[in-house]
Amino acid sequence: MNKTIIPVIHFDSEAQAMRNAARAFDAGCDGVFLIHMEGLNDLLTPVALRMKSRWPEKLVGINYLGEDPAKALHANVANGLDMTWTDLQLTHSSNAPWTCAAMIHAALLEAPSHRFFSGVAFKHQRPEPNPETAARMADKFGFVATTSGVATGAAAEVEKVARMREALGDAPLAIASGITPENVHKYVPYVSHILVATGVSESFHEFDYEKLHRMRSICDRRVSQ
């Protein structure tokens, strides 16, 4: 299973975002997400569109912190972007019948190539007692189940990720915190998508090219073994 590596740009300025996108793509990454940690989301769309125009073959997406996920999805699809990500656990195992998830699923049917990443057993959200069920429901609704450790920069328990992979079969599974070039090999057997920031950065706003390149190389080597 090939690994899709998507570095997450902590937006500071257009020049900074474009510079880091170029760094990620030069290192062989498949796409980038934009996020504004203070929720100044209006700044993100124009820059994401510029990235997509400059690198049309790469994946470009936005995590609109604090926004309604359906609204964020509609905006990204309308703007021709490839991905939407929400930390919200739309398929939490206690949330049946998952009305919001069903609404987003209906919207995705109109944009089948768009990738929607949805939190499952995700940091800073309500504890999830049954990640396997939540992950299966995310896949049922057409989402990429996206898990994390307990905090930003904290690695997820490998055992939890392995259980989610077993529950999902061949369906996509993303991880979004705590991945580094030193530990990525532990997760390669289980995940399809790696969303990463801290582990491949030299500062909060700047990626480290060597770390990005090393992570890409390790993933490719593990897959080929």
Residues 59-83 have a mean pLDDT of 96
Class of domain 4-224: alpha beta
Instruction: State the burial class of residue 100 (Cβ atoms within 10 Å of its Cβ: 0-12, 13-18, 19+).
Output: middle
Residues 192-217 have a mean pLDDT of 97
Contact 69, 104 (CB under 8 A): yes
Confidence of residue 224 (pLDDT cuts 50, 70, 90): low
**87-143 confidence digits (pLDDT tens):** 999 999 998 889 999 999 999 999 999 999 999 999 989 999 999 999 999 999 999
Supply the pLDDT for residue 67.
Answer: 93
Q: What percent of the chain has pLDDT over 90?
A: 91
Could you give the 3-state DSSP secondary structure of residue 127?
coil
**86-102 confidence digits (pLDDT tens):** 999 999 999 888 999 99
**18-62 confidence digits (pLDDT tens):** 999 999 999 999 999 999 999 999 999 999 999 999 999 999 999
The runs of H, that is alpha helices, within the chain are 14-26, 44-54, 69-78, 99-108, 131-140, 158-168, 184-187, 209-224
**42-52 confidence digits (pLDDT tens):** 999 999 999 99
The secondary structure of 49-95 as a DSSP string is: HHHHHH-TTSEEEEE-TTS-HHHHHHHHHHTT-SEEEE-S-TT-TTS
Indicate the domain borders of the chain. Answer: 4-224
Supply the pLDDT for residue 222.
Answer: 77
What pTM was estimated for this model as a whole?
A: 0.96
Chain centroid to Cα 144, Å, comes to 8
Residues 149-155 have a mean pLDDT of 83
Confidence of residue 225 (pLDDT cuts 50, 70, 90): low
Supply the pLDDT for residue 161.
Answer: 97
Could you give the 3-state DSSP secondary structure of residue 210?
helix
For 169, phi then psi, to 5°, come to 65, -125
